[in-house]
A and B are shown apart, each in its own frame.
Chain A
């Protein structure tokens, strides 16, 4: 099967930075006056992309924040229009950039199925025809005539996913949404969507969950700074991405000379892992994150070792201080090597870049201190079930819930 599903030629998308282009009459008039003199600052969200995606390919798009991943999906789904170049799409295309687009809280589950279904491109008859299947898939038979505002967020997501899973386009675009909802149900949805991939459905997805992509995709695309850096088999692309992120980091910690302390115990390496023990280049807010430290001791055994990692943002504000002697007990480090994990079951920091300082104390004396041992990037993620997050500069993320006490 070697027919192209999508052919992208010389594609670029330019956004005007700074002053809003449209907005009020005054700026529109004045921009006419000043059009001769002032150059408007432009930036490329995507630049000169050439790419062919074959029919039946399962493609994962990876890249850091601002790489142009979402822009590419928006261009493909015709939400926004290219500034240069051409996209040729063979077959029907649908996109799931969000779960439950257009859901209205006042409407019942049944009404929302119709509404959401027609919004994402089904006809009314098609929804009607699939209604039973959608409902039984969601398992929400009893709540079909309840307004969606009374649903729990889990139920909401199930209903939305069930509708979306019944789309039957030739090409499907998915943006990070598969990270929502309970694991089990998500798997069921993906199975349903992938079910027909053998018959030629092309799926393109963006995700920061490398493990997921490796499992689901065959092909990969690596974008950074709006450019296509690599495309090919998914494993190669992910490897390439991880390498690139590592390279962008500083010298490996073992080679760092700018460290303080007695040196009785040293940090040899710190790696960032996800729930599946895979190295991750970017952390999604809310995912399980493991900082794995490898420690070396100059003595056969160093006792009473305290380890501290601090997470700073780029302005130098301390967001988090983790110390094994605060949350637990000091440990003993043996000469060969000791590996210890600092585990965040649900990573609590919002989108942004953070620097990690690592300090080791042996019997209350500083043994090793590395400023800026590691830089980590955090991207949006599913901290809350809704997939929404507060603006990135509005504090840390906390587990909480709202409870209604009056009826």
Chain B
């Protein structure tokens, strides 16, 4: 018998051990994500088509308001493409955060009946939402061909920016799920914050339109740097490197503190929910 597990009241939380345990349970992470993907569009008439329709409607709406009515300066990029490149990472991010927020509460029946690292639950949402992100990418590249936007090597830079988006989703998702366990109020707060966040992110307008005095606050939103990064990679718009660095730093601070807070809550989860 090689493994010895000691459970002791009041013992310090072994953060590193718990994180390693998540890795050991990576198959579960995979299966939970797979289940979410399978179940999400099951029993709907249009099935996976919804993953196309939903972002399409948002893009058309943004196009109508910002491209047709307000006529925001997009620096020569077709407004439809402009908003589409903006919305892909935001849609992913808000879906992950919204789903992760209620994920642990939603998994009550699991959490009360079997042991596994609870952190897996919000993390799995970041994986399952990748399908929708991939579909939007697909649509985006289709549109780029239609609009004769050339693909350059720089387009490959969307890979690191996508990774950042995933990390951002995980970071905020973990925080929100831990907070929602502790305070159910977050089920009401979260949609509100996400709606505000959508307008404060440079989705249908460029970050260059934000007045200088507000710029620093604007850049604290980690999605600002990411969204601008996407456009830079695809359309060669100018990129404020500072914004990207701020995004990266914010994301890592939120991720580390979120995991720390979640693991601190970990042992009470089954008693509280």
- Residue pair A88, B9 in contact (C-beta under 8 Å): no
A253 at interface by CB-CB < 8 Å: no
Please, which residues of chain A bring their CB within 8 A of the CB of B10? 84
Residues 16-33 of chain B, each 1 if its beta carbon lies under 8 Å from chain A, else 0: 000000000101101110
Please, which residues of chain B bring their CB within 8 A of the CB of A115? 31-32, 34-35
- Residue pair B9, A119 in contact (C-beta under 8 Å): no
- With A78-B7, A101-B110, A104-B35 in contact, is A24–B27 under 8 Å at CB? no
A283 at interface by CB-CB < 8 Å: no
A93 at interface by CB-CB < 8 Å: yes
Cα–Cα, bound, A119→B183 (Å): 27
How many B residues are at the interface, by size bracket? 35 or more
A187 at interface by CB-CB < 8 Å: no
- Residue pair A93, B110 in contact (C-beta under 8 Å): no
- Residue pair A104, B39 in contact (C-beta under 8 Å): yes
B212 at interface by CB-CB < 8 Å: no
Other-chain contact of B184, A24, A83, A111 (Cβ < 8 Å): A24
Other-chain contact of A79, B32, B35, B39, B111 (Cβ < 8 Å): B111
Other-chain contact of A22, B6, B27, B28, B183 (Cβ < 8 Å): B183
Other-chain contact of A95, B3, B4, B5, B115 (Cβ < 8 Å): B115
A74 at interface by CB-CB < 8 Å: yes
Cα–Cα, bound, A245→B180 (Å): 44
> What is the chain B residue whose CB lies nearest that of A106?
B42
- Residue pair B272, A21 in contact (C-beta under 8 Å): yes
Other-chain contact of A93, B5, B6, B270 (Cβ < 8 Å): B5
Please, which residues of chain A bring their CB within 8 A of the CB of B28? 118-119
Please, which residues of chain A bring their CB within 8 A of the CB of B9? 12, 81-86
> What is the chain A residue whose CB lies nearest that of B28?
A118
- Residue pair A106, B43 in contact (C-beta under 8 Å): yes
Cα–Cα, bound, A97→B113 (Å): 6
Please, which residues of chain A bring their CB within 8 A of the CB of B267? 80-81
A123 at interface by CB-CB < 8 Å: yes
- With A95-B114, A106-B39 in contact, is A23–B270 under 8 Å at CB? no
Cα–Cα, bound, A83→B256 (Å): 27
> What is the chain B residue whose CB lies nearest that of A4?
B1
Kindly identify, within residues 84 to 102 of chain A, every residue whose CB is under 8 Å from any CB belonging to chain B: 84-93, 95, 97-98, 101-102
Please, which residues of chain B bring their CB within 8 A of the CB of A21? 272
Measured CB to CB, the closest approach of chain B to A45, in angstroms, equals: 10
Please, which residues of chain A bring their CB within 8 A of the CB of B112? 79
- With A86-B7, A86-B9, A88-B6 in contact, is A101–B268 under 8 Å at CB? no
- Residue pair B116, A22 in contact (C-beta under 8 Å): no
A15 at interface by CB-CB < 8 Å: yes
Cα–Cα, bound, A97→B34 (Å): 24
Please, which residues of chain A bring their CB within 8 A of the CB of B5? 78, 87-89, 93
B109 at interface by CB-CB < 8 Å: yes
A193 at interface by CB-CB < 8 Å: no
Measured CB to CB, the closest approach of chain B to A32, in angstroms, equals: 13
Kindly identify, within residues 152 to 197 of chain A, every residue whose CB is under 8 Å from any CB belonging to chain B: 170
> What is the chain A residue whose CB lies nearest that of B265?
A22
Cα–Cα, bound, A91→B5 (Å): 8
- With A79-B270, A81-B268, A89-B7 in contact, is A101–B31 under 8 Å at CB? no
- Residue pair A90, B30 in contact (C-beta under 8 Å): no
Please, which residues of chain B bring their CB within 8 A of the CB of A120? 114
- Residue pair B38, A124 in contact (C-beta under 8 Å): no
Kindly identify, within residues 304 to 351 of chain A, every residue whose CB is under 8 Å from any CB belonging to chain B: none
> What is the chain A residue whose CB lies nearest that of B9?
A82
- Residue pair A170, B182 in contact (C-beta under 8 Å): no
Other-chain contact of B270, A80, A83, A95 (Cβ < 8 Å): A80
B164 at interface by CB-CB < 8 Å: no
Please, which residues of chain B bring their CB within 8 A of the CB of A170? 1
B88 at interface by CB-CB < 8 Å: no
Most chain A beta-carbon contacts within 10 A, residue among B35, B113, B271: B113
Cα–Cα, bound, A363→B5 (Å): 69
Cα–Cα, bound, A90→B3 (Å): 6
A248 at interface by CB-CB < 8 Å: no
> What is the chain B residue whose CB lies nearest that of A112?
B35
Cα–Cα, bound, A90→B111 (Å): 23
Please, which residues of chain A bring their CB within 8 A of the CB of B110? 101-102, 119
- Residue pair A124, B113 in contact (C-beta under 8 Å): no
Cα–Cα, bound, A115→B37 (Å): 13
Residues 1-34 of chain A, each 1 if its beta carbon lies under 8 Å from chain B, else 0: 0010000000010010000011111001000000
Measured CB to CB, the closest approach of chain A to B58, in angstroms, equals: 27
A/B interface sample: 26 pairs, CB < 8 A: A12-B9, A21-B272, A22-B182, A22-B272, A23-B183, A55-B1, A79-B111, A80-B270, A81-B268, A85-B8, A88-B7, A89-B4, A89-B6, A95-B114, A98-B113, A101-B109, A104-B35, A111-B34, A115-B32, A115-B34, A118-B31, A119-B114, A120-B114, A121-B114, A124-B27, A124-B31
Residues of B that sit less than 8 Å from A by CB: 1, 3-10, 25, 27-28, 30-32, 34-35, 38-39, 42-43, 109-116, 181-185, 267-268, 270-272
Give 18 new A-B contacts, CB below 8 A, not counting A22-B268, A79-B111, A102-B114. A23-B183, A24-B185, A80-B267, A80-B270, A84-B10, A87-B8, A89-B4, A89-B7, A90-B4, A98-B109, A98-B113, A106-B38, A107-B35, A111-B38, A115-B32, A119-B31, A121-B115, A170-B1
Shortest beta-carbon contacts, A-B, top 9? A81-B267, A124-B27, A91-B1, A86-B8, A89-B5, A78-B115, A87-B7, A118-B28, A82-B9
